[in-house]
Structure 1
Amino acid sequence: MLWIRSGAVRYSHWVMAITLLSAGTALSGCVGDAGGTMTPMTSSGSAPSSATPSASASTTPTRSYGRDPAQVYDVIPPAAGAPAATGTVVVVHGGFWRAEYDREHARPEAQAFAGAGYHVVLAEYRRAGMPGGGVPGTLDDVRDLLASVASQPDLPKPLVLVGHSAGGHLVAWAAGQPWARERGIVGVVSLAGVVDLGAADRLHLGADATRDFVGSGPGTAAWTSADPMSTLPPKVPVRLVNGSDDDTVPPVAADDYVARAMAAGGDVTVDLVEGADHFAVIDPTTPAFAHVLAAVHSVL
């Protein structure tokens, strides 16, 4: 795998790699769809024109929860022959909240959850640099997305939210909201998540992506409204899965969140996966992904 020091370039190279390499490997080797292929979907939320039966438009419909083309989610049923698993996993992708990173790079991860027997939702949302994206629009999208998912009769409760990087921030934010349990959420799994906006700002993660997302700095009302640190303890259990070798969102960025959440009585744990980098936790072909599956199972 090619690693380049620039955060944005590095992210895009990894997205390219997992789209071209992991799609075939993960979907055929981990999901149980022998010989499976994946037809990319655009960030506008249009359905794939052709795909294998396990990824066809008839079995993975794209549903809207708002009028914007980015306010959509894909529904992925449990893979044929997979052991039955309880509930629905809602996958929220990362990319430092930026417009150029959409849900496609999280599709192998979502398919792997389907391969483990879960119903799966692969979510999209408006991001910084898009009309309505950033704070508060992105947060509104997460709220409305989860209300829509909770209302669907074919998506069984309970819901477990799984978010990576910026998506890890969004699911940790949702865990602190008063409506979390009302939506049927029983737990949140944050993978290399930006769970402390202040720490992310001090570390200048993603070339100051946090300020681009919020639109202001620490201490503002917008910042407070978006920071999971502002709503501790979380209303549902939170499981953090971080890689020891992650230099995109270093594990230290979550230290204050874990300490303060636990001090406030929150059910929060952290699993530091030795040797894993920022993307291992969403790659079904790596040993780190077993830790992710275990974290999901632990909150059900």
Structure 2
Amino acid sequence: MPRARISLKPLVYGEHPDQAADLFLPATGPGPAVPLVLFFHGGFWRAEHDRRHAAGFARALAAQSGCAVASVEYRRVGGGGGWPVTLTDTAEAVDRLPHLAAQAAPGHVDPARVVYAGHSAGGHLALWAALRHRVPDGAPGRTETPPAVLGVLALAPTADLAWADELGSGRGAVAAFLGGGREQVPDRYAAADPAALGVPAGRTVVVHGSLDEALPVAMARRYAARVGATLHELPGAGHFDVIDPDSAAWPVVGEALRTVVAGAGV
């Protein structure tokens, strides 16, 4: 993994303490501004899991890719989040953070070249953020036009909320997030489930381990086939290998990001 000097700048996109992000900036000399990756951490949308556990990943991704990486916090279940607040925080973050990052690092961050990325529940949020033009009218976070995003890097994402709820993933995390199962709150699933919303804006690349113990790789396979995403299935990899810079998955993650930034296949 390349070693590069990384600087850290705090960003605030709202009034709540969890409406914040850590901006990791690679050292850059004269030249064009670099793309920005907005990374959403996982933890099944629960308050006990925050962005601190993904700090090493975000720093390493900035060093490896040469992109700026903003590790995004958001309100979570048990801390004022859940439906609809987690989604509205996500929408606020993707709307505001590119320009805030460009202001924090003048000439170094290009707010017009943005990638949404996330792991596990954060992968769900990254996919949903690129689908805001497809959510039903009146639903939280809806936009009338497709988000201006290069694409999505989804790492072991919760890409199918209804399926994850049926599996009881994360000890009932989906029902806790949305306030019930699909039969109890069907409108919320219709507005929040990437598997029900169609093709995200930009290019979507999914990376998922074949031995993922939290979310089955079959979920990634079905989702990728449904929306035409590129899927990198990692033999022998578990749920957290995709955010471990010391794992065998790391080169694949880096190449997947380059694919999204370039907008070309591998």
TM-score normalised by the chain length of structure 2: 0.84
- 104, 110, 133: which one aligns with 2:52: 104
Asked whether 1:205 is paired with 2:149, we answer no
How many Å separate the matches in 2 of 1:180 and 1:128? 28
Give the match's secondary structure for 2:190.
helix
Amino acid at match of 1:226: A
Would you say the 8 A contact 1:216–1:223 is kept in 2? no
- 1:11-90 mapped onto 2 (5 Å cutoff): 31-32=3-4, 54=6, 59-79=7-27, 86-90=34-38
Deviation at 1:222, TM superposition (A): 1.5
- 167, 170, 173: which one aligns with 2:128: 173
How many Å separate the matches in 1 of 2:33 and 2:216? 32
The aligned counterpart of 1:231 is 197
Write 1 or 2 for the structure with the bigger share of strand.
2
Asked whether 1:277 is paired with 2:238, we answer yes
Give the number of equivalent residue pairs. 241
Would you say the 8 A contact 1:79–1:114 is kept in 2? no
Would you say the 8 A contact 2:123–2:158 is kept in 1? yes
Q: Could you say if the C-alpha distance between residues 31 and 101 of structure 1 is closer, same or farther in structure 2, counting changes exceeding 3 Å?
A: farther
Deviation at 1:259, TM superposition (A): 2.6
Would you say the 8 A contact 2:8–2:24 is kept in 1? yes
Q: Alpha-carbon deviations, 1:134-181, whole Å to 9, x = none?
A: 111001011100111232334313111110000011111112122598
Amino acid at match of 1:230: A
The aligned counterpart of 1:192 is 156
Amino acid at match of 1:63: L
The aligned counterpart of 1:143 is 91
The aligned counterpart of 1:163 is 118
Amino acid at match of 1:290: P
Give the match's secondary structure for 1:189.
strand
Deviation at 1:275, TM superposition (A): 1.2
The aligned counterpart of 2:136 is none
Asked whether 1:124 is paired with 2:73, we answer yes
Deviation at 1:79, TM superposition (A): 4.0
The alignment-based identity, stated in percent, is 37
Would you say the 8 A contact 1:174–1:180 is kept in 2? no
Give the match's secondary structure for 2:205.
strand
Deviation at 1:254, TM superposition (A): 2.5
Asked whether 1:261 is paired with 2:261, we answer no
Asked whether 1:216 is paired with 2:192, we answer no
How many Å separate the matches in 2 of 1:69 and 1:180? 29
Instruction: List runs of 5+ in structure 1 lacking aligned partners.
Output: 1-28, 34-53, 263-267
How many Å separate the matches in 1 of 2:218 and 2:74? 27
How many Å separate the matches in 1 of 2:227 and 2:147? 22
How many Å separate the matches in 2 of 1:69 and 1:99? 13
Would you say the 8 A contact 2:146–2:201 is kept in 1? no
Give the match's secondary structure for 1:173.
helix
How many Å separate the matches in 2 of 1:212 and 1:31? 40
Amino acid at match of 1:151: H
Give the match's secondary structure for 1:158.
strand
How many Å separate the matches in 2 of 1:238 and 1:130? 30
Would you say the 8 A contact 2:36–2:98 is kept in 1? no
Q: Give the RMSD, CA atoms, in angstroms.
A: 2.1
The aligned counterpart of 1:292 is 253
Would you say the 8 A contact 2:130–2:147 is kept in 1? no
Q: Alpha-carbon deviations, 1:251-281, whole Å to 9, x = none?
A: 112333223223xxxxx11110111111110
How many Å separate the matches in 1 of 2:158 and 2:166? 12
How many Å separate the matches in 2 of 1:84 and 1:294? 21
